[in-house]
Structure 1
Amino acid sequence: MTVTVRDLRPEVPADVERFAHSRHLALPYILWTPEAVRHRQAHTHPDAHYRSLVAEEDGETIGTAQVGMAYDSPEPGQGYLNVYVRPDRTRRGAGELLVRAAEEHLGSVGATKLFTWVLDEPGNRAFAERHGYRASRSAHFLRLDLAGGTLPPLQDPPPGVELRTAADFADDPRPLFRLDAETTSDEPSDVGAEFTDYEAWLAETWKHPLLDLDLTSVAVVDGCPAAFSCAFTDRATLPHSRLRSSGGTPISTAMTGTARAYRGRGLAKLAKNASLHRARAAGYREAFTGNDTDNEPMLAINFWFGYQICATEVRHARELG
């Protein structure tokens, strides 16, 4: 049995489906569908030099890697490689080959420092350290039982605040672009990001196939979007009524944030609570989210909702000589 690494073939439906399935088995806390795989392959900014790599053994996809440059960072030369091998197909050399191919690609396009997320398990961390990567910050994956748990009751917005959905901004999403750009720039990270390209944001984020405009909540203050909770679903393009008969599917909160001028007023909690209540009413049975371990205010909000930590990833980095 021989393991080989190649580029994903996005024009081959079965190849994309195997990629998404393998990634889900390795990291079941993040939604990733074939549609999302194709979207990222097609719409990631050219300056990212993005590649999706597949580790294959006898025609079976056993590992994947997403590789690219942090093109929207003010600091040049920063690249990323997120490598995931199926837990039932480890110790076959797939991780080694994926890392080697990813590093060669990133070095060829000018990367000087590489970042990767590693599940906080002894074997994974040891693998990263053997390849010269050193641990830095960490982040939790959290799960909420929407079917059997109890959400905090819905609250009426305070005076001057209106709860809306992202769908209300379908004709002109630019106000949400500005809000997303500001909150993302303040998010804890070792790689800074500056959203300045509205057209790129439209292609990559607003038109993402997992973005559910109806379940994404926005708190509006005096007509200005002040806070939001972004919902990703793997049935974003289907009528929610169909979920009730199918038993429901997961929802993921991709981002929750508040503009600087409106922080400390509970608007993010208000928006996220509205989003989760609508998701449960639509038939979703569980919710996932991610949280930097040092972001104590957001952790407190998630614990208030009833989320529980289900896994942890550790960020690793190395310099390219």
Structure 2
Amino acid sequence: MTVIVRDFRAGDAEGFARIRHLALPFMLSTPEAITYDAANAHPDAHFQPLVAEEDGELVGVAQVGIVYDSPQPGQGYLNVYVHPDRQGRGAGSLLLRIAEERLSALDMTRFFVRVVDEPANRSFAEKRGYLPRRSAHFLRLDLATCTLPPLQEPPADVELRTAADFADDPRPLFDLDAETLLDEPSDIAHEFTDYEAWLKETWHHPLLSHELTSVAVVDGRPAAFSAARTDGGTRYGTVMTGTARAHRGRGLAKLAKNDSLHRARAAGFTEAFTANDAGNEPMLAVNKWFGYEICATEVQHVRELS
């Protein structure tokens, strides 16, 4: 049996999404989203999705690219996923090697890879020269059976809206997203400075639900938000929840997220997912208050090239 690695093609989207879901079921993934990401990645990202085939069957996939929105140059990422029933047959190693060659050709000197915190996965990364860095938790909430906190009346100067209310001009949401991103714990610094790129990669992304993304507005400006994604079925996830610095300490992020969760359950979603850096204690406390439970942990590893 022979394993080969090649570039992603449009016809691979369904298999790509299936393998990613089997390997990492806590993140939403659909064929439409895979196709959209491949077609709409920023040119500076040099996004290169790869697939591994064994005798014509898709057995592994990888997402490879440059962290183009970081102020620190030379950083690339490569995340490898192998079908659980096809592990140990060389697909992961080959995907990793080809991905590293692609990044080296782009003069990247720091490679980041995320692996689920299990002994075999960590050993795979560390044997190939990757050292563990920060960890992050995936959390799950059973929306079908949980008892959500009751909806609260917002303070007198706060209005709850949805992202759909900003359809004509989402720029204020971009500004809020960019500000909150600066305080997100991470090994990689990111900065949102390109509004047009944000529109393509975030605002128009097929997984983003404008109707379920809740926004707390103060004096006509977004002050806090909880961005929601859905898979078109029963799974819903919040991918960013944050508050502008000037409005922190008032519970507005919790207010927005509670509103979004209630909207999601009313719309028929039965599972809620989110993820937090393991050191982000304030947000972990908020999610624990809602009833989320940690279902897995992922460890980011880095390999530095001299």
1:200-226 CA-to-partner distances (Å, cap 9, x unmatched) read: 111111000000000000000111100
Matched pairs, number:
306
Who is 2:225 aligned against? 228
**Among residues 262, 269, 274, which one is paired with 1:277 in the alignment?**
262
**Among residues 8, 12, 36, which one is paired with 1:39 in the alignment?**
36
**Partner AA of 2:253 in structure 1:** A
1:53-99 CA-to-partner distances (Å, cap 9, x unmatched) read: 10111221111110000000000000000111111110000110010
Q: CA deviation at 1:43?
A: 1.0
**Partner AA of 1:253 in structure 2:** T
What are the equivalent positions in structure 2 for 1:46-61 lying under 5 Å apart? 46-61=43-58
SS of residue paired to 2:86? coil
**Among residues 255, 262, 275, which one is paired with 2:240 in the alignment?**
255
**Partner AA of 1:286 in structure 2:** E
Q: How many angstroms apart in 1 are the aligned matches of 2:46 and 2:182?
A: 22
Q: How many angstroms apart in 1 are the aligned matches of 2:298 and 2:83?
A: 16
Q: CA deviation at 1:30?
A: 0.4
Q: How many angstroms apart in 1 are the aligned matches of 2:67 and 2:22?
A: 26
Who is 2:253 aligned against? 268
**Partner AA of 2:217 in structure 1:** V
Whether 2:274 is the aligned partner of 1:289: answer yes
Identity value in percent:
71
Who is 1:73 aligned against? 70
Q: CA deviation at 1:273?
A: 0.2
Who is 1:9 aligned against? 9
CA contact (8 A) 1:142 1:290 kept: yes
What are the equivalent positions in structure 2 for 1:71-220 lying under 5 Å apart? 71-220=68-217
CA contact (8 A) 1:7 1:54 kept: yes
Q: Which sections of structure 1, spanning at least 5 residues, go unmatched?
A: 236-247
Who is 1:309 aligned against? 294
Q: How many angstroms apart in 1 are the aligned matches of 2:258 and 2:40?
A: 31
Larger displacement relative to structure 2 (210-219 or 184-193): 184-193
Q: Which sections of structure 2, spanning at least 5 residues, go unmatched?
A: none
CA contact (8 A) 1:107 1:320 kept: no
Q: How many angstroms apart in 1 are the aligned matches of 2:269 and 2:247?
A: 30
CA contact (8 A) 1:210 1:233 kept: yes
TM-score (norm 1): 0.94
Q: How many angstroms apart in 2 are the aligned matches of 1:206 and 1:129?
A: 36
Who is 1:245 aligned against? none
Q: CA deviation at 1:185?
A: 1.5
Q: CA deviation at 1:110?
A: 1.5
Q: Pairwise CA RMSD of aligned residues? A: 0.7
**Partner AA of 2:93 in structure 1:** E
Q: CA deviation at 1:230?
A: 0.5
CA contact (8 A) 1:52 1:65 kept: yes
**Among residues 20, 25, 29, which one is paired with 2:26 in the alignment?**
29
